[in-house]
Structure 1
Amino acid sequence: MSQDAAAAHNPVPIGPETGLPLHAPSSRHHSALMAAAMQTVDRSLALAVLLLTLPLLLLAALAVRLSSPGPALLSTPHLGCGGTVFPLWALRTTQAGVASGTAEVTKVGYVLRLVRIDQLPVLLSVLRGDMALLGPCPERAPLPLASGETDRRQHHSWGVRPGALGWVQAN
Protein backbone atom coordinates (compact mmCIF):
# COMPACT_ATOMS: atom_id res chain seq x y z
CA MET A 1 0.00 0.00 0.00
CA SER A 2 1.46 3.38 -0.97
CA GLN A 3 1.82 6.23 1.54
CA ASP A 4 -0.98 8.21 -0.15
CA ALA A 5 -3.33 5.24 0.01
CA ALA A 6 -2.39 4.64 3.65
CA ALA A 7 -3.00 8.32 4.45
CA ALA A 8 -6.41 8.18 2.75
CA HIS A 9 -7.28 5.03 4.69
CA ASN A 10 -6.00 6.38 8.05
CA PRO A 11 -6.97 10.04 8.48
CA VAL A 12 -4.67 10.34 11.53
CA PRO A 13 -1.06 9.34 10.83
CA ILE A 14 0.11 6.66 13.24
CA GLY A 15 3.44 5.01 13.77
CA PRO A 16 6.67 5.33 15.72
CA GLU A 17 7.63 8.56 13.98
CA THR A 18 4.43 10.32 15.18
CA GLY A 19 4.50 8.90 18.69
CA LEU A 20 1.03 7.35 18.27
CA PRO A 21 0.59 3.60 18.72
CA LEU A 22 0.42 1.37 15.66
CA HIS A 23 -2.61 -0.49 17.03
CA ALA A 24 -6.06 0.97 16.75
CA PRO A 25 -7.61 2.12 20.06
CA SER A 26 -10.16 -0.70 19.84
CA SER A 27 -7.48 -3.44 19.80
CA ARG A 28 -7.84 -4.02 23.55
CA HIS A 29 -11.58 -4.49 23.10
CA HIS A 30 -10.95 -6.72 20.09
CA SER A 31 -8.55 -8.97 22.05
CA ALA A 32 -11.07 -9.29 24.90
CA LEU A 33 -13.72 -10.36 22.39
CA MET A 34 -11.29 -12.80 20.78
CA ALA A 35 -10.41 -14.30 24.18
CA ALA A 36 -14.11 -14.71 25.04
CA ALA A 37 -14.77 -16.33 21.67
CA MET A 38 -11.81 -18.70 22.08
CA GLN A 39 -12.96 -19.68 25.57
CA THR A 40 -16.48 -20.33 24.25
CA VAL A 41 -15.07 -22.58 21.51
CA ASP A 42 -12.82 -24.38 24.04
CA ARG A 43 -15.70 -25.02 26.42
CA SER A 44 -18.08 -26.11 23.64
CA LEU A 45 -15.57 -28.60 22.21
CA ALA A 46 -14.68 -29.92 25.68
CA LEU A 47 -18.36 -30.44 26.49
CA ALA A 48 -18.94 -32.23 23.17
CA VAL A 49 -15.96 -34.56 23.69
CA LEU A 50 -16.98 -35.29 27.30
CA LEU A 51 -20.55 -36.08 26.27
CA LEU A 52 -19.38 -38.34 23.43
CA THR A 53 -16.91 -40.19 25.65
CA LEU A 54 -19.07 -40.32 28.79
CA PRO A 55 -19.95 -44.04 28.43
CA LEU A 56 -16.27 -44.86 27.92
CA LEU A 57 -15.28 -42.70 30.92
CA LEU A 58 -17.87 -44.38 33.13
CA LEU A 59 -16.65 -47.85 32.10
CA ALA A 60 -13.04 -46.82 32.71
CA ALA A 61 -13.91 -45.38 36.14
CA LEU A 62 -15.77 -48.58 37.03
CA ALA A 63 -12.79 -50.69 35.91
CA VAL A 64 -10.45 -48.57 38.08
CA ARG A 65 -12.71 -48.97 41.11
CA LEU A 66 -13.11 -52.74 40.63
CA SER A 67 -9.42 -53.40 39.97
CA SER A 68 -8.03 -51.69 43.08
CA PRO A 69 -9.29 -49.85 46.15
CA GLY A 70 -9.41 -46.07 46.15
CA PRO A 71 -11.06 -43.30 44.18
CA ALA A 72 -11.41 -43.50 40.40
CA LEU A 73 -10.60 -39.80 39.92
CA LEU A 74 -7.60 -37.97 41.33
CA SER A 75 -6.84 -34.27 41.29
CA THR A 76 -3.51 -32.52 41.61
CA PRO A 77 -2.99 -28.77 42.12
CA HIS A 78 -1.61 -26.95 39.08
CA LEU A 79 -0.87 -23.31 38.23
CA GLY A 80 -3.21 -21.49 35.87
CA CYS A 81 -3.23 -18.08 34.27
CA GLY A 82 -1.78 -15.46 36.60
CA GLY A 83 -0.54 -18.09 39.06
CA THR A 84 -3.98 -19.19 40.26
CA VAL A 85 -4.12 -22.75 41.57
CA PHE A 86 -6.72 -25.13 40.09
CA PRO A 87 -7.35 -28.89 40.36
CA LEU A 88 -6.31 -31.00 37.37
CA TRP A 89 -8.35 -34.21 37.20
CA ALA A 90 -7.29 -37.61 35.82
CA LEU A 91 -8.39 -41.22 36.17
CA ARG A 92 -6.26 -43.04 38.75
CA THR A 93 -3.81 -45.42 37.07
CA THR A 94 -1.65 -46.34 40.09
CA GLN A 95 -2.23 -48.02 43.43
CA ALA A 96 -4.06 -45.70 45.83
CA GLY A 97 -2.34 -44.56 49.03
CA VAL A 98 1.22 -45.16 47.79
CA ALA A 99 3.80 -42.35 47.57
CA SER A 100 3.80 -40.91 44.06
CA GLY A 101 7.44 -41.79 43.37
CA THR A 102 6.96 -45.45 44.23
CA ALA A 103 3.39 -45.98 43.04
CA GLU A 104 2.88 -49.10 40.96
CA VAL A 105 0.79 -48.81 37.79
CA THR A 106 -2.21 -51.15 37.87
CA LYS A 107 -3.13 -53.44 34.96
CA VAL A 108 -6.19 -51.32 34.20
CA GLY A 109 -4.07 -48.19 34.59
CA TYR A 110 -1.57 -49.52 32.05
CA VAL A 111 -4.34 -49.94 29.45
CA LEU A 112 -5.85 -46.53 30.26
CA ARG A 113 -2.44 -44.87 29.85
CA LEU A 114 -1.77 -46.80 26.65
CA VAL A 115 -4.92 -45.45 24.96
CA ARG A 116 -4.72 -42.12 26.89
CA ILE A 117 -8.22 -42.39 28.32
CA ASP A 118 -6.84 -41.53 31.77
CA GLN A 119 -6.39 -37.89 30.69
CA LEU A 120 -9.94 -37.26 29.43
CA PRO A 121 -11.08 -35.79 32.80
CA VAL A 122 -8.66 -32.89 32.13
CA LEU A 123 -11.50 -31.55 29.97
CA LEU A 124 -13.38 -30.80 33.21
CA SER A 125 -10.79 -28.07 33.86
CA VAL A 126 -11.44 -26.70 30.35
CA LEU A 127 -15.17 -26.61 31.13
CA ARG A 128 -14.47 -24.72 34.36
CA GLY A 129 -12.41 -22.15 32.41
CA ASP A 130 -9.13 -22.98 34.19
CA MET A 131 -7.55 -24.32 31.00
CA ALA A 132 -7.75 -23.93 27.24
CA LEU A 133 -7.75 -26.80 24.77
CA LEU A 134 -4.47 -25.65 23.25
CA GLY A 135 -1.74 -23.96 25.24
CA PRO A 136 1.38 -24.48 27.34
CA CYS A 137 1.53 -27.46 29.68
CA PRO A 138 0.08 -26.74 33.12
CA GLU A 139 2.75 -26.52 35.78
CA ARG A 140 2.33 -28.31 39.11
CA ALA A 141 1.67 -25.94 41.97
CA PRO A 142 4.72 -25.49 44.19
CA LEU A 143 4.57 -27.23 47.53
CA PRO A 144 4.75 -25.03 50.64
CA LEU A 145 8.09 -25.01 52.43
CA ALA A 146 8.46 -25.52 56.19
CA SER A 147 8.20 -21.75 56.65
CA GLY A 148 4.80 -21.73 54.90
CA GLU A 149 6.11 -19.87 51.84
CA THR A 150 6.59 -21.33 48.38
CA ASP A 151 9.87 -21.77 46.58
CA ARG A 152 10.11 -18.77 44.23
CA ARG A 153 12.20 -20.79 41.76
CA GLN A 154 9.24 -23.13 41.23
CA HIS A 155 6.64 -20.37 40.87
CA HIS A 156 6.01 -19.39 37.25
CA SER A 157 2.88 -17.47 36.29
CA TRP A 158 1.74 -17.83 32.71
CA GLY A 159 0.12 -14.91 30.94
CA VAL A 160 -2.19 -17.38 29.17
CA ARG A 161 -4.33 -20.27 30.31
CA PRO A 162 -2.51 -23.62 30.25
CA GLY A 163 -3.74 -26.11 27.68
CA ALA A 164 -5.02 -29.67 27.68
CA LEU A 165 -2.94 -30.12 24.51
CA GLY A 166 0.38 -28.49 23.72
CA TRP A 167 1.59 -27.37 20.30
CA VAL A 168 3.54 -30.61 19.85
CA GLN A 169 0.48 -32.84 20.33
CA ALA A 170 -1.65 -30.64 18.07
CA ASN A 171 0.80 -30.67 15.15
Structure 2
Amino acid sequence: MGASAKRDNDLFKEYAITIDAPYIVERQTTNAKYYLYIKRFLDIVLSLLALPVAIPIIIIFAIIIRLETPGPAFFLQERVGLYGKYFKVIKLRSMTVNAEKNGAQWAVKNDPRVTKVGSFIRKTRIDELPQLFNVLKGDMSLIGPRPERPMFTAQFNEEIPGFIDRLQVRPGITGWAQVNGGYDITPREKLELDRYYIKHMSFWLDLKIILKTIKVCLTGDGAR
Protein backbone atom coordinates (compact mmCIF):
# COMPACT_ATOMS: atom_id res chain seq x y z
CA MET A 1 0.00 0.00 0.00
CA GLY A 2 1.69 3.21 -1.16
CA ALA A 3 1.15 6.74 0.10
CA SER A 4 -1.44 8.82 -1.75
CA ALA A 5 -2.94 5.69 -3.32
CA LYS A 6 -6.51 6.19 -4.50
CA ARG A 7 -8.75 3.48 -3.08
CA ASP A 8 -11.26 1.77 -5.35
CA ASN A 9 -13.92 1.83 -2.63
CA ASP A 10 -17.19 3.62 -1.97
CA LEU A 11 -16.08 6.79 -0.20
CA PHE A 12 -13.19 7.43 -2.57
CA LYS A 13 -15.26 6.78 -5.68
CA GLU A 14 -18.17 8.91 -4.50
CA TYR A 15 -16.18 11.88 -3.23
CA ALA A 16 -13.00 11.53 -5.37
CA ILE A 17 -10.83 11.44 -2.23
CA THR A 18 -7.28 10.12 -2.02
CA ILE A 19 -5.61 8.84 1.12
CA ASP A 20 -2.11 9.43 2.44
CA ALA A 21 -0.88 6.59 4.60
CA PRO A 22 2.09 7.77 6.69
CA TYR A 23 1.09 5.91 9.85
CA ILE A 24 0.20 2.47 8.58
CA VAL A 25 3.11 2.40 6.10
CA GLU A 26 5.54 2.85 8.97
CA ARG A 27 4.02 -0.22 10.62
CA GLN A 28 4.32 -2.68 7.75
CA THR A 29 6.77 -4.89 9.63
CA THR A 30 6.42 -8.60 10.32
CA ASN A 31 5.46 -7.92 13.94
CA ALA A 32 2.80 -5.40 12.90
CA LYS A 33 1.28 -7.86 10.45
CA TYR A 34 1.21 -10.58 13.11
CA TYR A 35 -0.49 -8.12 15.45
CA LEU A 36 -3.25 -7.42 12.89
CA TYR A 37 -3.82 -11.14 12.23
CA ILE A 38 -3.93 -11.97 15.95
CA LYS A 39 -6.16 -8.98 16.64
CA ARG A 40 -8.67 -10.21 14.05
CA PHE A 41 -8.61 -13.68 15.60
CA LEU A 42 -9.23 -12.19 19.06
CA ASP A 43 -12.05 -10.04 17.68
CA ILE A 44 -13.85 -13.19 16.55
CA VAL A 45 -13.19 -15.21 19.70
CA LEU A 46 -14.09 -12.43 22.14
CA SER A 47 -17.23 -11.50 20.19
CA LEU A 48 -18.41 -15.12 20.26
CA LEU A 49 -17.76 -15.25 24.01
CA ALA A 50 -19.55 -11.95 24.60
CA LEU A 51 -22.68 -12.65 22.54
CA PRO A 52 -24.30 -15.15 24.97
CA VAL A 53 -24.23 -12.40 27.61
CA ALA A 54 -25.00 -9.55 25.23
CA ILE A 55 -27.98 -11.08 23.42
CA PRO A 56 -30.31 -11.23 26.48
CA ILE A 57 -29.40 -7.61 27.30
CA ILE A 58 -30.07 -6.58 23.71
CA ILE A 59 -33.46 -8.34 23.72
CA ILE A 60 -34.51 -6.76 27.03
CA PHE A 61 -33.68 -3.25 25.91
CA ALA A 62 -35.19 -3.83 22.47
CA ILE A 63 -38.50 -4.57 24.21
CA ILE A 64 -38.16 -1.49 26.46
CA ILE A 65 -37.42 0.71 23.44
CA ARG A 66 -40.55 -0.55 21.65
CA LEU A 67 -42.64 0.07 24.77
CA GLU A 68 -41.36 3.62 25.22
CA THR A 69 -41.69 4.95 21.67
CA PRO A 70 -43.22 3.67 18.42
CA GLY A 71 -40.86 2.36 15.76
CA PRO A 72 -38.21 -0.33 15.38
CA ALA A 73 -35.90 -1.22 18.26
CA PHE A 74 -32.89 -1.45 15.95
CA PHE A 75 -31.63 0.72 13.15
CA LEU A 76 -29.09 0.27 10.42
CA GLN A 77 -26.98 3.21 9.34
CA GLU A 78 -24.38 3.52 6.60
CA ARG A 79 -20.86 4.12 7.88
CA VAL A 80 -17.38 4.26 6.34
CA GLY A 81 -15.05 1.39 7.16
CA LEU A 82 -11.59 0.19 6.27
CA TYR A 83 -10.19 1.93 3.15
CA GLY A 84 -13.43 3.78 2.55
CA LYS A 85 -15.72 0.77 2.17
CA TYR A 86 -19.34 1.42 3.19
CA PHE A 87 -21.12 -0.92 5.57
CA LYS A 88 -24.30 -0.94 7.65
CA VAL A 89 -23.71 -0.52 11.37
CA ILE A 90 -26.42 -1.97 13.62
CA LYS A 91 -27.42 -0.26 16.87
CA LEU A 92 -30.24 -0.20 19.37
CA ARG A 93 -32.33 2.87 18.64
CA SER A 94 -31.68 5.64 21.16
CA MET A 95 -33.52 8.50 19.40
CA THR A 96 -37.03 9.13 18.19
CA VAL A 97 -37.86 7.61 14.80
CA ASN A 98 -38.07 11.04 13.15
CA ALA A 99 -34.74 12.21 14.56
CA GLU A 100 -33.42 13.18 11.12
CA LYS A 101 -36.58 14.44 9.45
CA ASN A 102 -34.68 17.64 8.63
CA GLY A 103 -31.61 15.80 7.32
CA ALA A 104 -28.51 14.25 8.84
CA GLN A 105 -27.42 15.95 12.06
CA TRP A 106 -24.33 15.63 14.23
CA ALA A 107 -25.33 14.50 17.75
CA VAL A 108 -24.83 17.10 20.50
CA LYS A 109 -24.66 17.04 24.28
CA ASN A 110 -28.14 16.74 25.86
CA ASP A 111 -29.56 16.08 22.40
CA PRO A 112 -33.37 16.54 22.61
CA ARG A 113 -33.87 13.76 20.06
CA VAL A 114 -32.61 11.15 22.55
CA THR A 115 -35.31 9.18 24.37
CA LYS A 116 -35.26 8.39 28.10
CA VAL A 117 -34.15 4.81 27.61
CA GLY A 118 -31.90 6.05 24.81
CA SER A 119 -30.08 8.30 27.26
CA PHE A 120 -29.36 5.33 29.50
CA ILE A 121 -28.18 2.97 26.78
CA ARG A 122 -25.95 5.68 25.31
CA LYS A 123 -24.33 6.40 28.68
CA THR A 124 -23.70 2.72 29.33
CA ARG A 125 -22.90 1.99 25.64
CA ILE A 126 -25.53 -0.76 25.59
CA ASP A 127 -26.74 0.67 22.27
CA GLU A 128 -23.43 -0.48 20.75
CA LEU A 129 -23.77 -4.16 21.72
CA PRO A 130 -25.41 -5.27 18.42
CA GLN A 131 -22.21 -4.20 16.69
CA LEU A 132 -20.66 -7.45 17.89
CA PHE A 133 -22.31 -8.87 14.76
CA ASN A 134 -20.50 -6.21 12.68
CA VAL A 135 -17.26 -7.42 14.28
CA LEU A 136 -17.97 -11.04 13.39
CA LYS A 137 -18.79 -10.04 9.83
CA GLY A 138 -15.45 -8.24 9.54
CA ASP A 139 -16.77 -4.71 9.06
CA MET A 140 -15.50 -3.65 12.47
CA SER A 141 -13.03 -4.52 15.19
CA LEU A 142 -13.63 -4.42 18.93
CA ILE A 143 -11.06 -1.60 19.11
CA GLY A 144 -10.40 1.09 16.52
CA PRO A 145 -11.49 4.54 15.33
CA ARG A 146 -15.22 5.15 15.50
CA PRO A 147 -16.79 4.80 12.02
CA GLU A 148 -18.44 7.96 10.72
CA ARG A 149 -21.15 8.46 8.13
CA PRO A 150 -20.03 9.11 4.53
CA MET A 151 -21.22 12.73 4.34
CA PHE A 152 -19.57 13.65 7.64
CA THR A 153 -16.34 11.86 6.72
CA ALA A 154 -16.14 13.81 3.45
CA GLN A 155 -17.10 17.09 5.14
CA PHE A 156 -14.57 16.72 7.95
CA ASN A 157 -11.85 15.75 5.49
CA GLU A 158 -12.42 19.01 3.62
CA GLU A 159 -12.34 21.02 6.84
CA ILE A 160 -9.53 19.00 8.45
CA PRO A 161 -7.18 17.61 5.80
CA GLY A 162 -6.13 14.10 6.73
CA PHE A 163 -9.32 13.17 8.55
CA ILE A 164 -9.54 10.05 6.39
CA ASP A 165 -6.23 8.82 7.86
CA ARG A 166 -8.59 7.12 10.29
CA LEU A 167 -9.66 4.76 7.50
CA GLN A 168 -6.29 3.00 7.46
CA VAL A 169 -7.45 0.55 10.11
CA ARG A 170 -10.70 -1.31 10.74
CA PRO A 171 -13.13 0.84 12.78
CA GLY A 172 -14.00 -0.22 16.29
CA ILE A 173 -16.81 -0.41 18.82
CA THR A 174 -14.51 1.31 21.29
CA GLY A 175 -11.19 3.06 20.82
CA TRP A 176 -8.61 5.54 22.08
CA ALA A 177 -10.71 8.55 21.06
CA GLN A 178 -13.90 7.12 22.57
CA VAL A 179 -12.37 6.53 26.02
CA ASN A 180 -10.47 9.83 26.06
CA GLY A 181 -13.28 12.14 25.09
CA GLY A 182 -16.28 10.12 24.08
CA TYR A 183 -18.98 11.86 22.08
CA ASP A 184 -18.03 15.36 23.22
CA ILE A 185 -14.70 15.82 21.42
CA THR A 186 -14.39 17.74 18.17
CA PRO A 187 -13.58 16.00 14.86
CA ARG A 188 -10.07 17.50 15.00
CA GLU A 189 -9.48 16.12 18.50
CA LYS A 190 -10.88 12.78 17.40
CA LEU A 191 -8.46 12.68 14.47
CA GLU A 192 -5.42 13.34 16.67
CA LEU A 193 -6.44 10.65 19.17
CA ASP A 194 -7.11 8.14 16.39
CA ARG A 195 -3.79 8.96 14.74
CA TYR A 196 -2.09 8.26 18.06
CA TYR A 197 -3.78 4.87 18.23
CA ILE A 198 -2.89 3.95 14.64
CA LYS A 199 0.74 4.91 15.21
CA HIS A 200 1.05 3.06 18.53
CA MET A 201 -1.21 0.05 18.00
CA SER A 202 -0.29 -2.79 20.35
CA PHE A 203 -1.92 -5.33 22.61
CA TRP A 204 -0.91 -3.27 25.65
CA LEU A 205 -2.67 -0.20 24.28
CA ASP A 206 -5.70 -2.34 23.39
CA LEU A 207 -5.80 -3.67 26.96
CA LYS A 208 -5.62 -0.13 28.32
CA ILE A 209 -8.54 0.87 26.07
CA ILE A 210 -10.60 -2.11 27.26
CA LEU A 211 -10.04 -1.19 30.92
CA LYS A 212 -10.92 2.44 30.26
CA THR A 213 -14.00 1.31 28.31
CA ILE A 214 -15.24 -0.62 31.35
CA LYS A 215 -14.85 2.55 33.41
CA VAL A 216 -16.74 4.61 30.81
CA CYS A 217 -19.60 2.07 30.75
CA LEU A 218 -19.88 2.15 34.54
CA THR A 219 -19.69 5.93 34.90
CA GLY A 220 -21.30 7.13 31.67
CA ASP A 221 -18.43 9.53 30.98
CA GLY A 222 -18.46 11.07 27.51
CA ALA A 223 -22.07 10.29 26.68
CA ARG A 224 -24.36 12.76 24.99
TM-score (norm 2): 0.54
**What is the letter of the counterpart of residue 140 of structure 2?**
M
SS at match of 2:83: coil
**What is the letter of the counterpart of residue 41 of structure 2?**
T
Q: Is the 8 A contact 1:133 1:164 kept in 2?
A: yes
Q: What is the distance in 1 between the residues matched to 2:79 and 2:33?
A: 25
Distance apart, 1:133 and its partner CA:
1.3
Distance apart, 1:137 and its partner CA:
1.9
Residue among 109, 114, 130 paired with 2:123: 114
Distance apart, 1:31 and its partner CA:
4.9
Q: What is the distance in 2 between the residues matched to 1:65 and 1:164?
A: 24
RMSD: 2.5
Superimposed CA distance per residue, residues 81-132 of structure 1 (whole angstroms, 9 cap, x where no aligned partner): 1100011111101111332648622222122223221111122211111111
> Of Structure 1 and Structure 2, which has the larger fraction of its residues in helix?
2
Q: What is the distance in 2 between the residues matched to 1:140 and 1:103?
A: 21
* Stretches of 4+ aligned residues off by more than 6 angstroms: none
Q: What is the distance in 1 between the residues matched to 2:86 and 2:138?
A: 12
**What is the letter of the counterpart of residue 144 of structure 2?**
G
**What is the letter of the counterpart of residue 60 of structure 2?**
L
Q: Is the 8 A contact 1:95 1:103 kept in 2?
A: no
Superimposed CA distance per residue, residues 107-163 of structure 1 (whole angstroms, 9 cap, x where no aligned partner): 2212222322111112221111111111122122127xxxxxx76738826121111
Instruction: Quote the residue 2:150 is aligned against.
Output: 141
Superimposed CA distance per residue, residues 4-61 of structure 1 (whole angstroms, 9 cap, x where no aligned partner): xxxxxxxxxxxxxxxxxxxxxxx55x65454222111012112221221211110000
Q: What is the distance in 1 between the residues matched to 2:176 and 2:119?
A: 25
Q: Residues 135, 114 of structure 1: CA spacing in aligned structure 2 closer, same or farther, 3 A cutoff?
A: closer
Instruction: Structure 1 unaligned segments of length 5 or more: list them.
Output: 1-26, 144-149
Tell me the number of residue pairs that the alignment of Structure 1 and Structure 2 aligns: 138
SS at match of 1:60: helix
Identical columns (%)? 33
Q: What is the distance in 1 between the residues matched to 2:116 and 2:32?
A: 47
Q: Which has the larger radius of gyration?
A: 1
Q: Is the 8 A contact 1:88 1:122 kept in 2?
A: yes
Instruction: Quote the residue 1:156 is aligned against.
Output: 164
Q: What is the distance in 2 between the residues matched to 1:163 and 1:33?
A: 19
